[in-house]
Structure 1
């Protein structure tokens, strides 16, 4: 029977199963989290035509779900688990089971109506997995180098040296794969070229921007800064005014922008002038650096709206 009221589906994803609940109808079902279960879920959802299908990011468990349903142009919306938990607390939902979570996610989607965005391309999905692996290797390299400084036994020194060599080989292989994937996607290559044209933005930062914020180029400037966690949060109450601060957003992206901001302060005339003006006005250097980071993400977003290379301002 055709639904007369728009339905929102909430899907709780676990390793073995998918629990689904519709709001406001309250219809529920359960499917296995595999190819057969996903196919059955799509068949079940088809006549219901939900306006949103809400699910939490659950790492490897949600990847096949997202790509399968997104590939069928179904309106999937991935949300932060912390955001979902805060919503559950706000509406007084204390119980936590798979079925309860699915109902809560459906209610979350119906109440807040988060935007439906296209899923990232298969190429970007591969690059995201490579980026996670690369970040882990960099941390491993740092830990090994720190440990190496305190080693006294020749055997342990040799093992540490071999491990560092192995990490270098693995990083080189990942970087080569990054370059290959970018070359095979003309649109991605164009966006990559636009980003690396910005003074201070190297290959690693450009890749981080493309992977961690694929929405770049489709956002308003304030949205881009907010998603990166670089928009200042105002604190005021009555006559009291506290210090603004940055909060939330994508921490990995902020980390990737820190060093480019330092480089831009030296070699980008506009951003150098902005940094110097803020520090001269008494702003702490860290606040000025965050402002430069915010301007970098806004600049990247502007360049990618209609991909083009950065050009210096002319007098």
Structure 2
């Protein structure tokens, strides 16, 4: 009878300049510079197929994740929201780099069967996501400047060249997005999504980007990836208000919300939107449902390589 070999587990707390690692087999905690050379040297000394758990931290965890995956180890990226709740459920009061490294190793041991190993995203996904996030930062900065300077009288004119330069940066980013789509051969996918009512070029690009991240078997999986699925809490006859999980990319959700705001005025979706309002839903709730419907249709179009036909076209 073959023996079941338990893989070595390591929890890693990630910061910009340093990695704090915990190895349960030796019960040791040690620090490592978050650099390519140091990570490569450390990975060479690990047993084969070590399971490594680390928390998502923007971009600072990517070097370790990519090198570890390339070296044949299994990487798990843990959601920070889930990790915080796990910490509370375990009654742990301290939150330090060392305690978080231990917590990650414990979380991996307790939940490994239901966790999905991390795989490197496609190059097109990374490029499109980076450009969309940079544009989102630019748009937020532009809106903040415009609002804060609107009552400054004579000084208001001084901000106009800055805003104009931001507009040029926006156009340059959109041009880069088109180029990235063309280089990746995804223009047809964008066209499929853009045929939807309310879905413009940027929203279509964001949907195509999200679709590239994984082999989503169902539209429910795609919706969950976008963070548009609902968190339900119910106990006996008491049910709390349902809320979005919001675990996906916030910029994709923002663009989909804008698309829903435009689609609700179209002949195809106006009655649907008004129907939600007549049922007593608030405008935001109705727009979220409409955004979810648009995302589901976009998923089906990309999944099955079909062309969108609205009810007005069919009629």
| Secondary structure in structure 1 of the residue aligned to 2:262 | helix
2:299 is equivalent to residue 298 of structure 1:
no
Question: Which runs of 5 or more residues in structure 2 are unaligned?
Answer: none
Q: What do residues 26-67 of structure 1 show as CA deviations (whole Å, max 9, x unaligned)?
A: 46554321111121232133x2412x4221122232232233
Question: Residue 85 of structure 2 aligns with which residue?
Answer: 86
Question: Residue 38 of structure 1 aligns with which residue?
Answer: 39
Question: Residue 95 of structure 1 aligns with which residue?
Answer: 94
Q: What do residues 182-202 of structure 1 show as CA deviations (whole Å, max 9, x unaligned)?
A: 11112x334333322322211
Question: Which runs of 5 or more residues in structure 1 are unaligned?
Answer: none
Shift of 1:6: 2.8
Aligned residues: 308
d(CA) in 2 for partners of 1:53, 1:279: 48
Shift of 1:14: 1.8
Distance 1:176 1:21, change over 3 A: same
Contact 2:225 2:247 in 1 (8 A): yes
Shift of 1:177: 1.1
Distance 1:219 1:147, change over 3 A: same
Q: What do residues 193-235 of structure 1 show as CA deviations (whole Å, max 9, x unaligned)?
A: 3322322211111233344564465143333333333333334
Question: Residue 54 of structure 1 aligns with which residue?
Answer: 53
d(CA) in 1 for partners of 2:266, 2:96: 54
| Secondary structure in structure 2 of the residue aligned to 1:11 | strand
Question: Residue 192 of structure 1 aligns with which residue?
Answer: 190
Question: Residue 151 of structure 2 aligns with which residue?
Answer: 150
d(CA) in 1 for partners of 2:144, 2:87: 38
Question: Residue 136 of structure 2 aligns with which residue?
Answer: 135
Shift of 1:141: 1.5
d(CA) in 2 for partners of 1:180, 1:131: 13
Question: What is the RMSD of the two structures over their aligned residues, measured on CA atoms?
Answer: 2.8
Q: What do residues 286-308 of structure 1 show as CA deviations (whole Å, max 9, x unaligned)?
A: 32222111112222222232443
Shift of 1:277: 3.0
